[in-house]
A and B are shown apart, each in its own frame.
Chain A
Amino acid sequence: MALTIQRHMTFDVPWLPGKTVTIWNVDAKIVFQAKGKPVLAKLTTPMTQSGYTQISQNATSPGYGLSFINQKSSPQTQWSIRKATGKQTLYYHIQLGVMDKQSDLPITQMPSIEEQAKSNRGALASKAIIAVANETSADANSFTTELLKMLNAKNKNQNISTLISRKKSKIELLTFLLNEAKIPNKRVGVLRLKDGRRNQHLIQMIEVYQKNSNNVITKKLYDADHIQSVDRTGLLIWDESNRSLLDITGGYKSKVSFAMIKEDAHALAPIIQNIKHNQLFDFSIHSLLIEDQALFKGILMIPLGVLIVVIMRILIGIGTSGTFMPVLIAMAFVQTSLITGLIGFILIVGVGLVIRSYLSQLNLLLVSRISTVIIMVILLIALFGVLAFKLGLTEGLKMTFFPMIILSWTIERMSVLWEEEGPKEVLTQGGGSLLIAVLTYFAMSNDIMRHLMFNFIGLQFVVMSFVLSLGTYTGYRLLELRRFKPLADKE
């Protein structure tokens, strides 16, 4: 129980399955002309950052060798091919979950300040600007704000004007000035996330770094057109490498564009991904492949079914043919849907009983008789499947989900029961089994239950403790209250 609560608290695993979370699917498309030589393309990709958690990344590129290089400061995706000619298109796909709890990785190092090429012209102007800004500011952030005020002022002072005319853009100038002033900064490429946008490009912005009194480095994001730092919601810092976004050899006329789609997905996905980062929880089921997880999703429901059988047998007192047969039947129902499953089950067992009654005249040994029944059941399933398909009922094909060996044993047992105790006993036992199977089905197919049992492994122990405590229950069963009624009423 505590484990369950802990999983909710620490990892934000939601209690209910309905909670969804926004997921951004972003595609980067690289187009370039290949020269007919070996091609090596390196695309800088986003780092873990505040507000987002990476769920998956992959790349499509016919014929290219692919590798994801996970450098500390800048992850890269690298495509390579021996020879390529003509127009080439490469895709990189990343899935990001929007998550409030996610924060930036701690910054351990200030970005290095680039040495500016010394040029006499403009050096005086920049010194003057820095001096002014320095005078009116206290730290790196306020300094940047002062610079931006001057850059964006309507009546620019002369020093600024001279510098702007020499630099390509305001952002270039800002970088230059910050470097001159020895303020750690970084040029980043930022993507504005908007649903369904295509052909988007990175916006150039500047991150300004500052060390506070506790020696913790913080950063703020600025664009050149606004004085205040930029609000990061809806922005994805794609390229933090301080180098180029795309580095290509063997190609020319390269272009990178972005497309993005927003989707609301199951709340778990990003959390699971997040848990993966945590060493301790690497042993969780979520660390398995998706396919194996799906398998466990089914298996982890079995304890619930078993619990129902235990309750039914110990507390209620319903008899079944084969102790845990109802659980297996219920698992088949989960696959087939209830009505189809019920009809299929009754059909197969019914026809099976008829054929089995013929078999009992053949004087066969048990093992070969059971084997015959198994083959018969398989043929029946095939027959019903084909019949249903021909009649246009695709549902019929789902009958293959029934556990055939179990069905065969059920038929065998019921047939013997029929011969010995008559049809009434067959109906009570078969009915009891089906009743429990249907109840189990409802428990096992319940979304909330599935979600809880799968994500909170601790619940397995809760179920186990229930089963254990029921194992020591010595009170009366519900049906015994009925059975012993004549006894109690007698004086």
Chain B
Amino acid sequence: MFFTSPFKLKSKGVMGMNQRNCAYINRYNPREFYPLVDNKLKTKLIAKEANITTPALLGVITMQAQVAHIEQYIKNDKGFVIKPAKGSGGKGILVITKIEQGRYYKSNGKEVEISEIQRHVTNILSGLFSLCGSIDVAIVEALIQFDNAFEGFSFEGVPDIRVIVFMGFPIMAMMRLSTAASDGKANLHQGAIGVGIDITTGKAINAVQFDLPVSHHPDTNKVLRELQVPKWSRLIRLAASCYEMCNLGYLGADMVLDKEHGPMLLELNARPGLAIQIANSQGILTRLKLIESLGKEHNMNIDERVVFSKKNFSIQP
């Protein structure tokens, strides 16, 4: 059968797009807090206030006039990332992993001319990648030196960990591994692999690419089941604390693990996707309902919430 029965999905607690939009995003995410997450620069600033680590900010380009002098932000560094502040879906992110004698190389080894970088920044400023075409600013960030634990799991890109945080409780987590198909990007619809991560242990549960189960990384042939996220407790606690920071009830926190600085918040997402359910081979709805049943007066602090999640949302593989 091409289609599965909706009743079967329902019994599994799978949440559909309409239900996500209607019953969770519209209900738990007040519109006024959207700019905080839709603008990555604002996210960075409030994260700083809330003592949540984020990748180092090298510079912000707000005017076309600054584009010509872009080198001053990027010259003496190991690598950098240029991204639009209001970008969505990973659009408009340029990652330079190697700088040698004033020449720039992307993660796949291709050289990038400085004029190309400038054009990219120009595009960002004119709003090509922003959510509704409005004028944008470009953020230059330090490149994340990802943790050795992920060696071989990701092809030419920084693997990040998406944690769904509902009312401050970490609900579900997924690691996103870039592949050759995804061009070093960690977006699932572009071909990145999603690996469901157990909330309790940080171990891999299941992996999918293009919404279909996979067992090995297609480019490195690593067995995905062996994936174990180090410093998991710190990471998940950091993700849970994002709720206080941005006031969004239904939130996707994109975390990365840096070799030196440990878990960091990369960005927040007010409309996290549904593929995480496939990656975990679990419906998210039962977990959401459990948190909803607690009501608002549970008075748990961050640590208590993480403990609650670890206790209730563990999967023994």
Chain A residues proximal to chain B, CB less than 8 Å: 314, 317, 363, 365-367, 416, 420-421, 471-478, 480-490
B102 an interface residue at 8 Å Cβ cutoff?
A: no
User: For residue A487, which residues in chain B have a CB less than 8 angstroms away from its CB?
Assistant: 9, 12, 14, 277-278, 281-283
Contact assessment for A366 and B128 in the assembled complex, using a CB-CB cutoff below 8 Å? yes
Please report which residues of chain B, range 1-46, place their CB below 8 angstroms from some CB of chain A when the two chains form the complex.
2-6, 8-10, 12, 14, 16-19, 22-23
Contact assessment for A367 and B16 in the assembled complex, using a CB-CB cutoff below 8 Å? no
User: For residue B12, which residues in chain A have a CB less than 8 angstroms away from its CB?
Assistant: 487-488
Contact assessment for A489 and B19 in the assembled complex, using a CB-CB cutoff below 8 Å? no
User: For residue A421, which residues in chain B have a CB less than 8 angstroms away from its CB?
Assistant: 190
User: For residue A476, which residues in chain B have a CB less than 8 angstroms away from its CB?
Assistant: 6, 9-10, 14, 16, 18-19
User: For residue B122, which residues in chain A have a CB less than 8 angstroms away from its CB?
Assistant: 363, 365
Contact assessment for B126 and A365 in the assembled complex, using a CB-CB cutoff below 8 Å? yes
User: For residue A485, which residues in chain B have a CB less than 8 angstroms away from its CB?
Assistant: 3-4
Contact assessment for B133 and A475 in the assembled complex, using a CB-CB cutoff below 8 Å? no
Extra A-B contacts (10), CB below 8 Å, given A474-B18, A476-B6, A489-B4: A363-B119, A365-B64, A366-B127, A416-B91, A420-B91, A480-B9, A480-B274, A481-B9, A484-B277, A488-B14
B208 an interface residue at 8 Å Cβ cutoff?
A: yes
Contact assessment for A317 and B17 in the assembled complex, using a CB-CB cutoff below 8 Å? yes
B115 an interface residue at 8 Å Cβ cutoff?
A: yes
CA distance A475 to B22 in the complex (A): 10
**Most interface-central of B6, B23, B190, B213 (chain A CB within 10 A):** B6
CA distance A421 to B182 in the complex (A): 8
CB distance from A219 to the nearest CB of B (A): 67
User: For residue B211, which residues in chain A have a CB less than 8 angstroms away from its CB?
Assistant: 483, 486
**Most interface-central of B4, B5, B91 (chain A CB within 10 A):** B4
Contact assessment for B4 and A484 in the assembled complex, using a CB-CB cutoff below 8 Å? yes
Given contacts A363-B118, A490-B281, contact A478 B3 (CB under 8 A): yes
User: For residue B128, which residues in chain A have a CB less than 8 angstroms away from its CB?
Assistant: 366, 416
CA distance A366 to B14 in the complex (A): 40
B123 an interface residue at 8 Å Cβ cutoff?
A: yes
Contact assessment for A474 and B118 in the assembled complex, using a CB-CB cutoff below 8 Å? no
Listed from nearest, the 8 A-B pairs whose CB atoms lie closest are A366-B126, A474-B19, A476-B16, A363-B119, A481-B3, A485-B4, A488-B4, A488-B8
Contact assessment for B18 and A484 in the assembled complex, using a CB-CB cutoff below 8 Å? no
Contact assessment for A473 and B3 in the assembled complex, using a CB-CB cutoff below 8 Å? no
**Most interface-central of A367, A472, A473, A484 (chain B CB within 10 A):** A484
Contact pick for B4, options A473, A477, A482, CB 8 Å: A482
CA distance A366 to B128 in the complex (A): 7
Contact pick for A366, options B16, B17, B115, B123, CB 8 Å: B123
User: For residue B9, which residues in chain A have a CB less than 8 angstroms away from its CB?
Assistant: 476, 480-481, 484, 487-488
User: For residue B118, which residues in chain A have a CB less than 8 angstroms away from its CB?
Assistant: 363
CA distance A89 to B5 in the complex (A): 79
Contact pick for B2, options A472, A480, A482, CB 8 Å: A482
User: For residue A367, which residues in chain B have a CB less than 8 angstroms away from its CB?
Assistant: 126
CA distance A486 to B280 in the complex (A): 11
* A417 closest partner in B (C-beta): B91
B212 an interface residue at 8 Å Cβ cutoff?
A: yes
CB distance from A366 to the nearest CB of B (A): 3
* A412 closest partner in B (C-beta): B128
User: For residue B282, which residues in chain A have a CB less than 8 angstroms away from its CB?
Assistant: 487
CA distance A480 to B10 in the complex (A): 12
Contact pick for A477, options B5, B10, B16, B64, CB 8 Å: B16
CA distance A477 to B119 in the complex (A): 39
CB distance from B42 to the nearest CB of A (A): 22
Interface majority SS on A: helix, strand, loop or mixed? helix
Contact assessment for A480 and B213 in the assembled complex, using a CB-CB cutoff below 8 Å? no
Given contacts A366-B127, A476-B9, contact A486 B278 (CB under 8 A): yes
Contact pick for B22, options A366, A416, A472, A480, CB 8 Å: A472
* B277 closest partner in A (C-beta): A487
User: For residue B23, which residues in chain A have a CB less than 8 angstroms away from its CB?
Assistant: 474
CA distance A317 to B4 in the complex (A): 15
CA distance A167 to B184 in the complex (A): 110
User: For residue B8, which residues in chain A have a CB less than 8 angstroms away from its CB?
Assistant: 488
CB distance from B250 to the nearest CB of A (A): 14
Contact pick for A475, options B6, B115, B123, CB 8 Å: B6
Contact assessment for A484 and B17 in the assembled complex, using a CB-CB cutoff below 8 Å? no
* A362 closest partner in B (C-beta): B119
* B16 closest partner in A (C-beta): A476
CB distance from A319 to the nearest CB of B (A): 10
CA distance A478 to B18 in the complex (A): 11
12 inter-chain pairs at a CB distance below 8 angstroms, sorted by A residue, are: A365-B122, A366-B123, A475-B6, A475-B18, A477-B17, A480-B16, A480-B274, A481-B5, A484-B9, A486-B211, A487-B12, A488-B14
CB distance from A385 to the nearest CB of B (A): 30
CB distance from A185 to the nearest CB of B (A): 75
Contact assessment for B4 and A481 in the assembled complex, using a CB-CB cutoff below 8 Å? yes
- 1/0 contact string of B104-123 vs chain A (CB within 8 Å): 00000000000100110011
CA distance A314 to B12 in the complex (A): 21
Please report which residues of chain B, range 263-289, place their CB below 8 angstroms from some CB of chain A when the two chains form the complex.
274, 277-278, 281-283
User: For residue A482, which residues in chain B have a CB less than 8 angstroms away from its CB?
Assistant: 2-4
Contact assessment for B213 and A486 in the assembled complex, using a CB-CB cutoff below 8 Å? yes
* B120 closest partner in A (C-beta): A363
CA distance A486 to B16 in the complex (A): 15
CA distance A490 to B122 in the complex (A): 47
CB distance from A79 to the nearest CB of B (A): 62
CB distance from B239 to the nearest CB of A (A): 23
User: For residue A484, which residues in chain B have a CB less than 8 angstroms away from its CB?
Assistant: 4, 9, 14, 277-278
CA distance A472 to B21 in the complex (A): 10
CA distance A290 to B274 in the complex (A): 51
CB distance from B133 to the nearest CB of A (A): 7
Contact assessment for A475 and B278 in the assembled complex, using a CB-CB cutoff below 8 Å? no
CB distance from A353 to the nearest CB of B (A): 16
User: For residue B125, which residues in chain A have a CB less than 8 angstroms away from its CB?
Assistant: 365
Contact assessment for B91 and A483 in the assembled complex, using a CB-CB cutoff below 8 Å? no
* B125 closest partner in A (C-beta): A365
CB distance from A274 to the nearest CB of B (A): 46
